[in-house]
Amino acid sequence: MSQKVWFITGASRGFGRIWAEAALKRGDMVAATARSIDRLADLVGQYGEAILPLTLDVTDPDQAMDAVGRAHAHFGRLDIVLNNAGYALVGAIEEARESDVRQEFETNFFGALRVLQAALPLLREQGHGHILGVSSVAGIVANPIIGFYNASKWAFEAMHEALAQEVNQLGIKVTLLEPGAYATGFASDTSLAISAPLEAYAELRQQVFAAGANIAFGNPLATADAVLAIVDHESPPLRFFLGTEGMPVARAAYAGRLATWQEWADVSESAQGSPIKHAIASAGAI
């Protein structure tokens, strides 16, 4: 199947916009969603019937179901479902209000879940599909001051890892895209929510922001060919780093974790105790 049909959330800017345009340029068809489809007008003017603009706020369950259904009905199938919408909550664990944390998860985790649950019956019925979830290097390590963003992406990663095992036999592929820092405007006011600061974390916050100022941001336009290569591959990976940041971070993080687990292995094993025969509950009782 040479021409593909995409469903993309958050397609009006950043990665979503770049990848939507890359797909359209090569002749694919795109259901492009955004909270305001006015921002997609230029793509509609350029690509005509190849693009279907749809209003979608992923925090609205009805909109998610409607948008996925309309896209499938319009194009007759969905080959790629790309969950890209998201933002970061900035604040120490003590600083953030619970309502703000819930809203972070409403967009980053539950928003993606809504799209997945709307799309999966359609992908199962057609017997194929590729789910792409935009995670982050922040989805494999946690950092101070953005811990709740990390938490939302860790949950996002776990959901997709489980999903990949559930749908593999159904002909559905799953890939987590894990970008490092890119100049997408993600650090702008429209992509950040900032908690009211406490003086106790002022010095730490300053250190974190100072380190961020020295980051060499990647060029987001350079990601397009890589994403197209992933969706065209017969056996795409479950996890895929975009850029150069991820691999060194992963090596250091996992080396540290393994070293700590190994250091405490004797104590861990002593906690097992003597074997006990125990009946495992049936699947229906779990």
Active site residues: 135, 149, 153
**Residue 180: what residue type?**
G
HSE of 61, CA atoms in CB hemisphere, 13 A:
3
DSSP strand E in 102-251: where?
129-134, 172-179, 192-194, 239-242
Long-range contacts formed by 262-265: CB under 8 A, 24+ apart: none
**Residue 209: what residue type?**
F
Q: How far apart are CA 274 and CA 254, in angstroms?
A: 30
CB 100 within 8 A of CB 154: no
User: Pick from 153, 171, 150: which is nearest to 83 by CA?
Assistant: 153
Quick one: the chain helix, strand, coil %, rounded to 5?
Answer: 55, 15, 30
User: Pick from 93, 111, 122, 100: which is nearest to 159 by CA?
Assistant: 111
Q: How far apart are CA 43 and CA 46, in angstroms?
A: 5
User: Which residue has tokens 């017969």?
Assistant: 234
**Residue 135: what residue type?**
S
Name residue 6's beta-bridge partners: 30, 80
Name residue 194's beta-bridge partners: 90
Q: How far apart are CA 281 and CA 286, in angstroms?
A: 6
- Cα Rg of the chain, angstroms: 21
